[in-house]
Chain A
Amino acid sequence: MSFLQKHLEDPVRFARIRRGFYLGLIGIAVAEIVTLGFGGHGHFWFEGIPAWGSLYGLVSCIAIILVSKLIGKLWLMRREDYYEP
């Protein structure tokens, strides 16, 4: 059994990975707030918002999925044989 199988197919180990992921996210957001300004000032005011990267990442991700799916459903998506003669 490979390394990946061992960790992904065992519910206990998988739960541990998931917990690690959430803790990691909290850690990153905190680190982002702490290190604000360490790389010199950003070019824009919004870069000064605490945890700007994390916030914008989450908002971007959700916006991309929802808006794209909406455009797809309403307009762009067609049957797979749409172009078949």
Chain B
Amino acid sequence: MNLEWVHPGLLLILGAWVLPLLKGRVKRTAMLVLPGAAMVVCWLMQPGTYGVVSFFGQELVFGRVDRLSLVFSYVFTIMAFLGMLYALHVEDDAQHVAALTYAGSALGVTFAGDFLSLYVFWELMAISSVLLVWLRRERTAVAAGFRYLLTHVFGGLVLLAGIAIYWSQTGTLAFGDLGALSGGVAWALILVAFLLNAAVPPLNAWLADAYPEATVTGAVFMTAFTTKSAVYVLIRGFAGTELLMWLGAVMAIYGVVYAVLENDARRLLAYHIISQVGYMVCGVGIGTALALNGATAHAFAHILYKALLFMGAGAVLHTTGLRKLSDMGGLYRTMPLTLGLYMIGAFAISAVPLFSGFVSKSMVVSAAGEVHSASIFLMLSLASAGTFLHTGLKLPYYMFFGRNPQPKDAVHGREPPRNMLAAMALAAAACILIGVFPGLLYRFLPNPVSYAPYNLTHITSTLGMLGFTALGFFLLLKHLDPERKLSLDTDWFFRRGATGFLALVQGPLKRFESDFVGEIYEFVIRRPVLSVARLLRGIDSIIVDGILVRAGSSIKTLSGMLRTLASGHAQHYGLIMAAGILVLLALALLAS
């Protein structure tokens, strides 16, 4: 068959608009067929360059298909399928259209070979994802959505500025490795925009602010696409940028610290997205073949287990309406299936052997070992302990067990709808499959893989690390009780800092303007200008006007005199002529 190339992203973005026209079972089928079809399209795609469009003399490439973009497209389409399955019971077309558009734009970014098409999908991703926040239709969600959108609009503008400078410097829009421009303005602006979407501190606040405010099903989509497409473009453009290695390691710990303090279940998980993306950013910074494979593999595994974790926390929110750990407890009695599936995700993120995180995270940590960076190695290992501590111990403990002294006060939950459980089960199966058969994932990685995660030392040291983290957790359990508090993050600067800035503008700055700047203006500009103007007006009215007025009045006098001569009566003219002739005659007679 010789079909034209089909863009899987456009398939989702355009196909989404069919959903509002359908009803009932047909609609639910279409919700699964669309991402399923996109998955098949990606799967059948061969490396090459497709979808080249000429646009004002520039070549736009919508289909740069190579090993790197393919592996990301696989996991993005799998995720779109799992997300739609999880959302199958939701009777809100707007959410489905937004979610599919969001997934489609992430695929658009993945296959973009030039900056212009990348930018368009980049912005579409921000717009469609903010809808998933707003569509929860609560006051806090709307406010968080606006903060999310403003942050991403800012990031988009920074990207656009970077692209414009890049274009003017290189004369091309092709998106590839930017190492040659390292340190330049274009390089820095594009990097900042990418880092904002990857939620690298201090550009991280939007993530933990907005994700917990999104709809139950929308949040599952959000965990996958924005940060991981940012990791993809970082691998593409900034591999081996040493700064990223350090930012990534700091980021891995940053998320862990905030997770200790967090009480909102989904916000705790959101901080662990920041922590986990830290490993990927660090891998991009290390930049070796193993590290880039690790960043890619970890993105792949992360999308699946983090979606599973958000699905679990979402199931609790869906059935109990609770989002704060301090309100939960005892749910193991009524939601054992959810607990079991959640724990598979928790083991995967904690890199327990036989689960997906074990075979992906360790690639990045080993890459840090290979470049002999002890501090990076220790920071990433420390963050691993923190990951298990929160996602594997603290959150399930307080959510499903809790101290819960009186069973009759236990929160009453029930298992979520079957489609939600099915999505969780599929994600859980993927986590185990990748963990048990790492080769399934490794064969799709961009570089050839010689890494073997399963050896005795690695297994026992990982188990030791996790086991003794658990010991530390139970020893310090009383210090970990979730508190009804919020933690300041860098969103303080625009949530409270901005209020302070406005007060500064409206108070002292305004007074300074009217009292000081205003006075200076009065004396230095207004008054001198007015006196000069007065002088000029004097010159104008006395001299210029005077001359004109005099000239006018003399002409008027002259014409008055002439008017007495020109009376219009023929006898007067005749009399004057006769007088003239008499004068002439008299002159002639007297002169002769």
- Identify the A interface with B (CB < 8 A): 2-5, 8-9, 21, 24-25, 28-29, 31-32, 35-40, 42-44, 46-47, 51-58, 60-69, 71-72, 75-80, 82-83
Contacts and interface: CB of A to CB of B under 8 A. Distances in A.
A72 B487 contact: yes
The 7 closest A-B pairs by CB, nearest first: A61-B472, A53-B461, A43-B369, A39-B455, A39-B457, A54-B464, A68-B260
B69 interface: no
A46 to B, nearest CB: 8
B472 A62 contact: yes
B332 A82 contact: no
Most B-side CB within 10 Å, residue of A2, A38, A46, A83: A83
Given A58-B472, A65-B479, A78-B488, A83 B260 contact: no
Given A44-B377, A51-B464, 15 more contacts: A4-B333, A4-B339, A25-B468, A28-B460, A32-B463, A39-B457, A39-B458, A43-B377, A57-B469, A60-B386, A65-B480, A68-B261, A76-B488, A77-B261, A78-B485
B587 interface: no
Nearest to B368: A43
Contact of A35 (B384, B457, B469, B476): B457
A28 B464 contact: yes
Most A-side CB within 10 Å, residue of B374, B377, B457, B487: B457
12 contacts: A35-B457, A38-B455, A40-B455, A46-B374, A52-B461, A52-B464, A57-B465, A58-B468, A58-B472, A60-B469, A60-B472, A64-B389
Contacts of A54: 461, 464-465, 467-468
- Interface of A: prevailing SS: helix
Contact of A24 (B378, B459, B467): B467
Given A64-B389, A65-B479, A68-B257, A57 B486 contact: no
A80 B486 contact: yes
Contact of B336 (A4, A28, A71): A4
A50 to B, nearest CB: 10
Interface residues of B, number: 56
B456 interface: yes
Given A4-B336, A72-B261, A75-B488, A64 B457 contact: no
B372 interface: yes
Contacts of A44: 369, 372, 374, 377
A41 to B, nearest CB: 9
A4 B339 CA distance: 11
B160 to A, nearest CB: 30
A25 B469 contact: no
Most A-side CB within 10 Å, residue of B369, B385, B466, B496: B385
Contacts of A29: 464, 467-468
Contact of B466 (A37, A57, A75, A76): A57
B256 interface: yes
A48 B2 CA distance: 59
B382 interface: yes
A58 B488 contact: no
Contacts of A82: 486, 488, 496
A38 B465 CA distance: 17
Contacts of B537: none
Nearest to B454: A39
A64 B468 contact: no
B572 interface: no
